[in-house]
Chain A
Amino acid sequence: MAISRERLVGVGATSPSVVMLLLWMVVPLGMTIWFSLHRYLLLQPGSYTLVGLENYAYFLQDPAFLNALWNTLVLVGSVLIITVVFGVAIALLLNQPFWGQGIARILAISPFFIMPTASGLIWKNLLMDPNSGFISWAMKSLSLEPIVWFSNWPLLSIILIVAWRWLPFATLILLTALQSLDEEQREAAQMDGARPIPYFLYIILPHLARAITVVVLIEMIFLLVVFAEIFVTTSGGPGSESTNLAFMIYKQALLQFDVGGASAGGVIAVVLANIIAIFLVRLIGKNLDEE
């Protein structure tokens, strides 16, 4: 009985915040769905009329849509793989005791502090520029042909820039999780003479599973709407090789000021994101259950 009363108190104490959360989740989504059913061109005052699903049809029929969808998936997928794989490696590395650990950690995490526009511009013009950038200078010094990043490898360039910003995030979360790995457990494993690889596979990786879920889900939220890096470097080109859904929606929302069309694009993006999220959770959720 005592426990169930506790339960009741708990529910009572938390419900306001949960309700508020839910409200905030519902209201913008509801508004977006509402506007997606209207013809609403901000630059044509008085154009506000109910049009049903026309906006969805318009957005889905865009010849660039499938391409943008594919680019979005490639961008999200590649950055996730890069950040999780290298994130685990770097977190393991930074978790070892070594001289100047604190400084090294903060250096490795700092790319996350740079605002996306600034990082995009700095990478584009100071590092990746085929004529005056540092990377092409370094390649020329090694007598290699400099890579023309944004013309020949537009999506890859953007993946690299975005991954550079999100790798520290993964590292930070995974590092925190690693540190909660029980000291005794670790020592015991070492006493038993556990080989590094099985130790990693059977002890560390399962322990990190939940942190990896966090990394994947939270990164996904932001990676699905990557925009600034694309905007300042390639503007979605050449062609639509580096156009993702967010850039398409941007064109609709802030160049055409087509609120209805952009809302439809937004709803489509949310639906797609949910499909991916469910798929991912199934995949990672298994890990969680085995634990």
Chain B
Amino acid sequence: MVNQARWQRVGWGVAAWLVALLMFFPIYWMIMTSFKTEAAAVSTPPSIVPMEPTLQNYETVFEQSDYFRFAWNSVVISLGSTMLGLLVAVPAAWAMAFIPSKRTKPTLLWMLSTKMLPPVGVLVPIYLLFRDWGLLDTLFGLTVVLMLMNLPIIVWMLYTYFREIPKDILESARMEGAGLWQEVVYILLPISLGGIASTVLLNVILAWNESFWSLNLTSSDAAPLTAFIASYTSPEGLFWAKLSAASTLAIAPILILGWFSQKQLVRGMTFGAVK
């Protein structure tokens, strides 16, 4: 019996790894391509591992653009908009989850549905407003826009996580004389840490990859990595190896962040004390 269970576990492990590798393959391929020459990148048959690995693409990329400035802007914008968003969304989601009214659900849905408005529809008006307010090409302006763009998602996700928390826990804390602030900080947040972590991760990724507003509202000072990528896509000439190098650089920071926060995600989830 024990043996069988063990083999079963190994089997699951192998299957999980196969799936993970399959999903990752295009990225692996992109990273490998970033070490090939442009000619080798599109030659047939393709080589699984670069025959003559070269750092030339990375050199070109670093020479051609100030990667660290773009990366820094991306970090500021994505973390900034997520943190700002959380500040606004936690109270809102709390209210919706614990003091629901008849209008809560329709409101939430409506919020989400306005996000289905294709952003090109409002590009010109927003551009004009930004021009008049002097917010074009500022980190502040872009951070606020991305925060507002992702806010419905943050609220919605937090709301669903909060709703899973049994109300009696909060009520018993209240009975013991905890104020609203204590209730949120000491009870609600720790319990839903996993949910909050995945919300944060998700929003950082969304903001990181947001390539409509970040391209249209910035030019140089506040341009994030999406603009960096846009300077490597589709020039006249072969570009796939350089694009691969630039993309690898663009996802590296967030891959590392994901790597750390994923541990956090798992730890946050083991809330044995609840229920």
* A10 to B91 CA separation, bound complex (whole angstroms): 8
**Interchain CB contact under 8 A, A118 and B243:** yes
Query: What are 27 of the A-B contact pairs (CB < 8 Å)?
Result: A11-B95, A21-B92, A25-B111, A28-B117, A31-B125, A90-B19, A93-B16, A94-B16, A98-B10, A102-B263, A109-B258, A114-B209, A115-B209, A116-B211, A132-B44, A176-B265, A210-B160, A213-B160, A214-B156, A221-B116, A221-B153, A245-B118, A249-B120, A262-B121, A266-B120, A269-B118, A270-B116
* Residue in B44, B98, B226 whose beta carbon sits within 8 Å of that of A115 in the complex: B226
**Nearest-neighbor residue (CB-CB) of A245 within chain B:** B118
**Interchain CB contact under 8 A, B113 and A24:** no
Stretch at the interface among A62-70, A147-155, A163-171: A163-171
**Interchain CB contact under 8 A, B23 and A108:** yes
**Interchain CB contact under 8 A, A113 and B211:** no
Contacts of B259 on A, CB cut-off 8 Å?
Answer: 102, 106
* A213 to B157 CA separation, bound complex (whole angstroms): 10
* Residue in B10, B119, B164, B247 whose beta carbon sits within 8 Å of that of A122 in the complex: B247
Any B CB within 8 A of the CB of A274: yes
Enumerate A239-287 residues with CB–CB distance to B below 8 Å: 245-246, 249-250, 253-254, 259, 262-263, 265-267, 269-270, 273-274, 277-278, 281
* A42 to B123 CA separation, bound complex (whole angstroms): 12
* Residue in B20, B117, B180 whose beta carbon sits within 8 Å of that of A269 in the complex: B117
Any A CB within 8 A of the CB of B208: yes
Q: Within the complex, what minimum Cβ distance (angstroms) separates A120 from chain B?
A: 9
**For this complex, into which size category does the number of interface residues on chain B fall?**
35 or more
Residues of B within 8 A of A (CB): 9-10, 12-13, 15-17, 19-21, 23-24, 26-27, 29-30, 33, 41-46, 88-89, 91-92, 94-95, 98-99, 107, 109-126, 148, 151-153, 155-157, 160, 163-164, 174, 180, 194-195, 198, 201-202, 205, 208-209, 211, 225-226, 229-230, 233-234, 240, 243-244, 246-247, 250-251, 254-255, 258-259, 262-263, 265-266, 269-272, 275
Contacts of B45 on A, CB cut-off 8 Å?
Answer: 137, 141
Q: Within the complex, what minimum Cβ distance (angstroms) separates A80 from chain B?
A: 14
Contacts of A1 on B, CB cut-off 8 Å?
Answer: none
**Interchain CB contact under 8 A, B233 and A117:** yes
**For this complex, into which size category does the number of interface residues on chain A fall?**
35 or more
* A125 to B249 CA separation, bound complex (whole angstroms): 19
Q: Within the complex, what minimum Cβ distance (angstroms) separates B184 from chain A?
A: 9
**Interchain CB contact under 8 A, B114 and A176:** no
The 5 closest A-B pairs by CB, nearest first: A266-B121, A98-B13, A273-B116, A14-B95, A179-B269
Contacts of B246 on A, CB cut-off 8 Å?
Answer: 118
Q: Within the complex, what minimum Cβ distance (angstroms) separates B22 from chain A?
A: 9
Residues of A within 8 A of B (CB): 6-7, 9-11, 13-14, 17-18, 20-22, 24-25, 28-29, 31-32, 35, 40, 42, 90, 93-94, 96-119, 121-123, 125-127, 129, 131-134, 137, 141, 164, 167-169, 172-173, 176, 179-180, 182-184, 210-211, 213-214, 217-218, 220-221, 224-225, 227-228, 232, 245-246, 249-250, 253-254, 259, 262-263, 265-267, 269-270, 273-274, 277-278, 281
**Interchain CB contact under 8 A, A96 and B13:** yes
**Interchain CB contact under 8 A, B42 and A180:** no
**Nearest-neighbor residue (CB-CB) of B41 within chain A:** A126
* A51 to B145 CA separation, bound complex (whole angstroms): 30
Q: Within the complex, what minimum Cβ distance (angstroms) separates B143 from chain A?
A: 14
Q: A106-B259, A211-B160 are in contact. Are A253 and B120 (CB under 8 A)?
A: yes
Q: Within the complex, what minimum Cβ distance (angstroms) separates A175 from chain B?
A: 8
**Interchain CB contact under 8 A, B153 and A225:** no
**Interchain CB contact under 8 A, B122 and A102:** no
Contacts of B266 on A, CB cut-off 8 Å?
Answer: 102, 179
* A184 to B275 CA separation, bound complex (whole angstroms): 10
Q: A10-B94, A10-B99, A121-B243 are in contact. Are A137 and B44 (CB under 8 A)?
A: yes
* A116 to B120 CA separation, bound complex (whole angstroms): 16
* A90 to B18 CA separation, bound complex (whole angstroms): 11
**Nearest-neighbor residue (CB-CB) of A223 within chain B:** B116
**Nearest-neighbor residue (CB-CB) of A19 within chain B:** B92
